[in-house]
Structure 1
Amino acid sequence: MAQESSSSVALIVGVTGMAGLSLAEALKKPRPPNSPWKVYGAARRPMPGWFDSSLVNHYIPFDALDLQNTIQNISPISHEVTHVFWVALQVHESEQINVSINSTMLNNVLSVLKSDTLSRLRHISLQTGTKHYMGPIFDPSLAGQLVRHEPPFQEDSPRLPYPNFYYALEDLVASYSPALTYSVHRSSIIIGASSRSVYNLLLTLAVYANICKHQGLPFKYPGSRYTWEHFCDMSDARVLAEQQIWAAVTDKAKNQAFNCTNGDVFTWKSLWMELCKVFEVEFVPFDHEREEFDWVGMMKRRGQVWDEIVERHGLYRTKMEEITCLDALNVVLHFEFQHVCSMNKSREFGFHGFADTLKSMRMWVGKLRDMKIIP
């Protein structure tokens, strides 16, 4: 293993998301014999009130889609940055648009960093996900047409014949080789703490549970019988951060793609029972005979209820539509296959990070409470 020196300087693009926050926390931990990294954190919007400013040496709000804005904000640090941790994304209904927008963002940042004649940049860490194996599952124009790989998902599976911004970003970082090394990290469903992640399933479930509790409604499982009974996996944001840092400083892991999950599996039934304990709501057994209820429609009409909860508990001010991903969660809860990734390659290369999903779920709910994002 090639240890990085204390002069390692990270730029985390997307630092206010779940993965970005955990990366900043991990990079600032002492790692004998090395000092903590110098960390620049960047995101589109100003720093949120729940973000601990001590986690970054400097916070940079900028628009990566705007090349001139990127030049203005990133050029001053382009001679320092040694590692880019790319955990940013924008999503739209069309995957073709996702390809264009996300490629432009990453290309703008890398081109500015590499254009500096004194550039020290040597590694790019790219976070993607299991859509690599399933295709663009949130693109309505492809609904019912996608043919996915069979689980457990493995890194050497061939690419699927659909547009996918993950593929475009992988090709982009690989195009800088051999001048730069890279690593790709394919997460499962990420669990962490942030009010600014595009897909925060835990926060979405927390909002649902608290609205049910507030209005005296049953906290019913809104998914299918299949997902209730079959296996799924998740990625604790701390494990994802540790794997990205490990790959960034380990020669053997360079220019490789790795799945990153907690290493265990769960059924949604077991997770639902744990959520009921955490949120102190009654567990409602899944009724195999009942008709599905329109929980997405129900929740989309409860924005004002969430406003009341925020006000009553003095929470960090959020709007329900900005912090939930109801439609995306609904897709996940109606998978007709077991969403499970293989961690064999990661272990074979020397990364052995893991988390107990049910325990980490409780921990992250506690953190969301400490951050005053949920009551």
Structure 2
Amino acid sequence: MMETQPQASVALIVGVTGLTGLSLAEALKEPNCQGGPWKVYGAARRPWPSCFPPSMVDQMITFDALDSSSTSAKLSPIAHEVTHLFWVTFQIDPDEQVNATVNKTMLLNVLTALKSSTFRLTHVTLQTGTKHYMGPIFDPVLSGGLISHDPPFHENMPRLPYPNFYYSLEDLLQSSLSYSYSVHRSSIIIGASPRSVQNALLTLATYAAICRHLGLPFRYPGTRYTWDHFCDITDARVLAHQHIWAAVTPEAKNQAFNCTNGDVFAWKTVWKLLSQLFQLEFVPFDETLHFDLADLMRDKGSVWDDIVHKYGLNSTKLEEITCFEALQTVLRFKFQHVSSMNKSREYGFNGHVDTFKSITYWVEKLRQMKIIPSYQY
């Protein structure tokens, strides 16, 4: 009896239920996807979310990557198949040194589990971000004294003298001669998932929905500087296609690439768009009315429960789908959060999207998934 030949392109997406992971699964199953057709294994700590069709992956695997025994047991049966590892997961702790240890352990456990007698892994894509250029901005001890690079951020900027789990993961991949890698430094990622730790658009959407529900003014919780100055965003679809492009493009091997939508915006214009999308009155910025968004939302879990019930949404808890502290940090930057896309374009990746169309698309997607409410016009 003849043995069946393994499929040429087999992806393992670790973190498949997150913003980038879901877009990656969808992109890999597109008929004209680069390097395809693809067989797609999805991996996460929790099962596939019910708001997405199971057909987006060929098989879902659940395990805790921090547990080496569990990781090996779950991945060993497919280790002889996987040709490409898409690493789009992370665990977050306030202490950046802990982040470095935990996230490196997770990646090492997965790479170790994929080693088999017929090792086929050829490329690993690594998801990181602009914290590479800013330092540990969420670490309560280190964040107050950081000296960041001046924007626009570009890939050949030297590492900063602070602990950063992105650096640890890059070092781990660079130490191997068995496969190539690519690093994908995104900006603020927007997409649609109820499983992401830091989901800026969903955090903004829940804030808007709560303001509408309670009759509160939809005030901007940032500063005059970010209200007026430029920022950029990364659509999860653009990011997914950059991962795939790098995974199958020889020139992109062992390189790091920024990934944004390719345009910039000021938050005051995005605030107007969000006000329209949620049928709220646009409130111009007033620096005399400074407030703390995290404090304002701290006791609003029961309000979100009421919204979920009123609009028949999928059951979610406010603290599990939002991160108001992280959003507030971004909206209080003292510099323009902008990355250069020149290197990516020079290497041949030209993915882009209009940020305002992107925000509108993903808000509608979140409504279709019954994660946020729809309103009748």
**TM-score normalised according to structure 2 size:** 0.96
The equivalent residue for 1:144 is 144
Structure-1 separation of matches of 2:62 and 2:295: 34
CA deviation after TM superposition for structure 1 residue 32, in Å: 7.2
Structure-2 separation of matches of 1:295 and 1:33: 42
CA deviation after TM superposition for structure 1 residue 51, in Å: 2.1
What are the within-5 Å matches in structure 2 for residues 67-216 of structure 1?
67-114=68-115, 116-177=116-177, 179-216=178-215
What are the within-5 Å matches in structure 2 for residues 1-375 of structure 1?
7-31=8-32, 35-114=36-115, 116-177=116-177, 179-288=178-287, 290-375=288-373
Contact 1:6 1:35 in 2 (8 A): no
Structure-2 separation of matches of 1:32 and 1:44: 27
CA deviation after TM superposition for structure 1 residue 252, in Å: 0.3
SS at match of 2:182: strand
Structure-1 separation of matches of 2:109 and 2:292: 41
Contact 2:180 2:254 in 1 (8 A): yes
CA deviation after TM superposition for structure 1 residue 314, in Å: 1.2
CA deviation after TM superposition for structure 1 residue 291, in Å: 3.3
Structure-2 separation of matches of 1:33 and 1:21: 17
Amino acid at match of 1:348: E
Amino acid at match of 1:329: L
Amino acid at match of 2:125: S
CA deviation after TM superposition for structure 1 residue 87, in Å: 0.2
CA deviation after TM superposition for structure 1 residue 357, in Å: 0.5
Amino acid at match of 2:110: V
Root-mean-square deviation (CA, aligned residues, Å) is 1.2
Amino acid at match of 1:283: F
Contact 1:6 1:34 in 2 (8 A): no
Structure-1 separation of matches of 2:245 and 2:34: 15
Contact 1:85 1:125 in 2 (8 A): yes
Gaps of 5+ in 1: none
Gaps of 5+ in 2: 1-5
SS at match of 2:12: strand
Structure-2 separation of matches of 1:359 and 1:274: 10
After superposition, what is the alpha-carbon deviation per residue over 1:245-295, rounded to whole angstroms, capped at 9, x for unaligned? 00000000000000000000000000000111111111011114x131122
% identical aligned pairs: 65
SS at match of 2:145: coil
Change (3 A) 1:199 1:33: closer
Contact 2:94 2:139 in 1 (8 A): yes
Contact 2:28 2:36 in 1 (8 A): no
Contact 1:310 1:316 in 2 (8 A): yes
Structure-2 separation of matches of 1:98 and 1:361: 30
SS at match of 1:141: coil
Misfit runs of 4+, over 3 Å: 32-35
The count of corresponding residues between Structure 1 and Structure 2 is: 368
